[in-house]
Amino acid sequence: MASAINSLSIKHPHQIISFIAWLCALVVLLVGLITPDKKEILLLLTVSSLCLLMFNSVAMTTWVFHQFKDKQLRFIALLCSAALMLCTVGDVINFNLSQHYHRYATLIKHDYLVDSILLFAPGYSLLFLACVLAYKRQQAISRLKSAFFIVVVLVVSATSLASMYLDGAGIPILAMTGFYSVVVTAVGLMGLMLVVVYGGFYAPKPIMWVSLGLLLAALADAIIGAFWIYGNQGQGFYPQVRYINWFIYISSQCLVIHLAKVVALAK
């Protein structure tokens, strides 16, 4: 993470703010696993991460608008900010402040996570669109590439869902998690596609860091599915999985919110 900061423009504090948000998430992980009873500290650091990320995302969008007149680049920045805002609302749902369980099926305890898909799915769809536009700035997307991409996404997402699904989870949970699996797999695969189109092993380091963030987004949601929703026979490995997922998820967001700026500065 420190090298990522050095790789990006030092004239602006955006990378530093992301790093502080990441540190907050790291402390949440450590405190949550070691002394989970420190609820006040965990809440403060969790909210701090989200506030820092939202502020940073808006700041970078503003920076892009001030520095560039490229309409597509500005649109990418807006998409990234909108994606983060939607995901942040999804995060609040995942906090389960109302303490609701087993709403859709008696087998799945933490099915409130399914409700958050209504925010995360459109959020990550916007991020996916931003990545597609970033890709097209370097190379056109042919029908053959699109078809191949869709096939890979469907195969990977179907395989992933089949490996964790539990009989008795119910049609609503299957439908929502199945659809969301496709969305987040597409986002993760775009991470690899961006590295390839921007030079492969010779791609700018900031591009590689953003691409890593996209892959981490897919990993974070895979962890939710395997260990929080369907894990432990539907009871979830809670609360440990919450803190592990939070760290990976925030690590992802700390990187992907830089997409527009990184694409603008990529050579």
Higher pLDDT, 243 or 100: 243
Q: From the DSSP assignment, how many helices (H) and strands (E) are in the chain?
A: 10, 0
pLDDT number for residue 12: 65
Q: What percent of the chain has pLDDT over 70?
A: 95
- In residues, how long is the chain? 267
Domain count for the chain, please give it.
Answer: 1
User: What's the domain range around 255?
Assistant: 2-265
CA 250, 201, 143: angle at the middle one, nearest 5? 85
pLDDT number for residue 8: 44
Is 2 a residue whose pLDDT tops 50?
Answer: no
**79-105 confidence digits (pLDDT tens):** 999 999 999 999 999 998 888 888 887
Confidence bin at 169 (pLDDT 50/70/90):
confident
Reported as half-sphere exposure (CB side, CA atoms, 13 A), residue 32 has a value of 21
pLDDT number for residue 141: 84
DSSP 203: S
Q: Rounded to 10 degrees, what is the CA torsion of 187, 189, 193, 196?
A: 140
Answer yes or no: pTM beyond 0.85: yes
Confidence bin at 16 (pLDDT 50/70/90):
very high
Own/partner long-range contacts of 232-239 (Cβ < 8 Å, ≥24 apart): 233/107, 233/166, 234/105, 234/107, 234/108, 234/109, 234/166, 234/168, 234/169, 235/109, 236/109, 236/110, 238/109, 238/110, 239/32, 239/36
pLDDT number for residue 85: 98
Per-residue burial over 234-266, b if 16 or more Cβ lie within 10 Å, else e, is bebeeeebbbbbbbbbbbbbbbbbbbbbbbbeb
